[in-house]
Amino acid sequence: KLRSMYVCGTKKDQDKYLLIPFDHIPGNALRLESEDGTLQAMLCTAMPEHMRKSLTALIESAIGSNVLHQREQDQDLLFQALHFSWYNRFSTQGNASADHLHPSLSQKAGASRTNHFQFCPRTSADYRNFKDIYLNLTKNLAPDVEIQVQCCDSLPLNSNVPLFPFTGLVFNFNVSTKGHWDRGDLGFCFVMAFGNYEGGHLCLKEQGWVFDLRPGDFIIFDSSGTTHFNLLYRGCCGSIVGHTDKEFLQWMKDFNGWKNNIYLSATRRSANNADEGTEYIPYDNLFG
């Protein structure tokens, strides 16, 4: 059925979709690729049953209230979200600043004021305003949603993120989205469903795929280059999302232009040669 939907890797009928049910996944994991072998999506249904059953209860206990509400399938309402994320967008660039001048004393030419808070990656308002909820959620969910890769070791002050390799963690409650691209994100995102619901399928428009995600199932796909949306649902439904701000590429390249500033030394201690001081890791070498 998959092969019959495409001509030279492009969907023949833009209004046609193929349902990919969870009970037809070989080995609890499915990798879906384009014609040239590029990863389009990866679905995993391997979460143990006892973890599935406790997932929603853990989230509600961490929030401290019942944030999930019953919804009928014909209701199209707004939904709540908590963004516990790191962002680098709209950062103050240091390329034109003197390397010997402290950044807090720098002034942007031609501007009446300079935003000294945005020299480096920073946390979202929800992260700062709901710090207790963030700590409760990440502590309770650590065994359930932990995937390991590299990339987050460049955050200021050796800060950690709970959902590697993503720098952003979002909780959506009573979620139902319209078709959209997350243009501010870098490549792939992570989505895990939770709740007690029927419907709410995740749809990828360009590929023509519909995923019936159970609580605890997760999918990774290119949210910045794929139109995606949810079908309406009945019951209580939420999602955990991992994403990364695409402006982190600028931070990783030259630390927003501050790599040569003597007060914001863009150096990193070598893991293999800790006694030999520090070294600057060029952007071209970050990915091996």
Output the pLDDT for position 265. Answer: 59
- 27-34 contacts at long range (C-beta below 8 A, 24 or more positions apart): 32/207, 32/209, 34/9
Output the pLDDT for position 163. Answer: 66
pLDDT digits (tens, 9 = 90+) for 36-94: 888 899 898 888 888 888 888 888 887 766 666 666 655 556 556 677 777 787 777 77
Helix, strand, or coil here: 118?
A: coil
CA distance from start to end of the chain: 38
pLDDT digits (tens, 9 = 90+) for 241-251: 999 888 888 88
Asked whether residue 199 carries a pLDDT value surpassing 70, the answer given is yes
pLDDT band per the 50, 70, 90 thresholds, residue 281 = very low
pLDDT digits (tens, 9 = 90+) for 172-187: 888 888 999 999 898 8
Distance (Å, whole) CA 42 – CA 207: 13
**Domain spanning 12-62+81-87+123-243, CATH class:** alpha beta
The H or E element that residue 249 is part of is helix 248-254
Task: For residue 242, list its beta bridge partners.
Answer: 169, 190
Distance (Å, whole) CA 203 – CA 187: 17
pLDDT digits (tens, 9 = 90+) for 200-225: 999 999 999 999 999 999 999 999 99
Distance (Å, whole) CA 13 – CA 206: 10
Distance (Å, whole) CA 205 – CA 31: 17
Distance (Å, whole) CA 276 – CA 270: 8
